[in-house]
């Protein structure tokens, strides 16, 4: 069984810059990392491989420098890495991104499981995983915190909920997104680092995937960012001092003069 892990290279969250003309992230010259949630997806793919065998393929879309993120995946234990890179992919929203990833996955054979983090820290939408599933017409489960059992044909896992979890069984192939509770990502070994330096990063462009250019990248994105701005800082508060009865009276008076209407108590 082949396992695909979709990863994204994201800017270091302490150093984000926005292009004022395109309202897109400026990635050139900015330190980047693998999306932290995707690190858990890589780790889980490796654990499954160690348990039942198979091959792990890391897949990512982006500019040429994303190859470094894919080399990190190889250093951790991924068997191969595929980079989707083409100027036609630039500016993609979650719809166009998931369509592109799905097109690449169709080029692969014997895919039993597709893993990815629940969301990317630069967008926080959580839409790409379900989007890929819809384009591929595959079932998907989000927010997986534990894989209890997995075989060539089915998977049993726990989906994280606000007040507990949901235990689910599903047939493969399937797409799942994982949360950080699922595991503790490993560190690359020295042998892994050496292998990553020598590894070939396979590159595919839009023509190879076979998706019309008007359906990918900025042209194929039904949602676009019109404006990005820093929210204004909230104004300073006002402190009322004194006895509770006095401060309550002061607060009520302030609310009334500020135009806030308070509901009148019902007279008996």
In the predicted model, is pLDDT for residue 147 greater than 60?
Answer: yes
Q: What is the mean pLDDT of residues 111-137?
A: 93
Give the per-residue pLDDT at 252: 87
Residue-averaged pLDDT of the chain? 89
Higher pLDDT, 256 or 222: 222
Residues 183-198 pLDDT 10s: 999 999 999 999 999 9
pTM value? Answer: 0.80
- Enumerate domains of the chain plus CATH numbers: 2-215 (3.40.50.620)
Give the per-residue pLDDT at 259: 47
Q: How far is CA 71 from CA 85, 141, 175, in A?
A: 15, 28, 23
Residues 61-80 pLDDT 10s: 999 999 999 999 999 999 99
Residues 77-102 pLDDT 10s: 999 999 999 999 998 999 999 999 99
C-alpha distance across the termini of the chain, in Å:
75
In the predicted model, is pLDDT for residue 22 greater than 60?
Answer: yes
Q: What is the mean pLDDT of residues 33-48?
A: 96
Nearest 5°: the CA angle 248, 249, 253 is 115
In the predicted model, is pLDDT for residue 15 greater than 70?
Answer: no
- The full DSSP string for 155-184 is EEEEEEETTEEEEEEEESSEEEEE-GGG--
> Is residue 35 a contact partner of residue 121, using CB atoms and an 8 Å limit?
yes
Distance, in Å, from the CA atom of 132 to the CA atom of 137, rounded to the nearest integer, reads 8
Q: What is the mean pLDDT of residues 214-222?
A: 91
């Amino acid at each position: 069984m082949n396992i695909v892990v979709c990863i994204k290279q994201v800017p270091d969250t302490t150093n984000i810059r926005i292009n004022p003309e395109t309202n897109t992230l400026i990635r050139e010259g900015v330190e980047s990392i693998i999306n932290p949630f995707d690190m858990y997806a890589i780790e889980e793919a490796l654990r499954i491989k160690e348990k039942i065998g198979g091959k792990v393929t890391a897949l990512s879309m982006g500019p040429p420098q994303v190859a470094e993120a894919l080399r990190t995946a190889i250093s951790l234990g991924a068997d191969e890495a595929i980079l989707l890179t083409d100027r036609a992919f630039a500016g993609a929203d979650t719809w166009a991104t998931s369509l592109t990833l799905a097109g690449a996955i169709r080029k692969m054979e014997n895919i039993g499981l597709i893993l990815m983090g629940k969301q990317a820290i630069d967008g926080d939408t959580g839409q790409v995983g379900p989007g890929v599933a819809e384009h591929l017409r595959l079932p998907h489960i989000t927010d997986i915190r534990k894989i209890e059992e997995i075989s060539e044909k089915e998977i049993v896992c726990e989906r994280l909920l606000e007040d507990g979890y949901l235990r689910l069984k599903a047939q493969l192939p399937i797409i799942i997104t994982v949360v950080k509770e699922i595991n503790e990502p490993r560190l690359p070994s020295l042998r892994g680092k050496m292998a990553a330096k020598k590894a070939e990063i396979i590159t595919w462009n839009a023509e190879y995937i076979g998706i019309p250019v008007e359906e990918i990248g900025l042209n194929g994105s039904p949602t676009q960012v019109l404006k990005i701005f820093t929210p204004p800082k909230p104004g300073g508060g006002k402190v009322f001092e004194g006895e509770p009865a006095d401060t309550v009276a002061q607060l009520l008076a302030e609310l009334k003069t500020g135009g806030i209407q308070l509901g009148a108590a019902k007279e008996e």
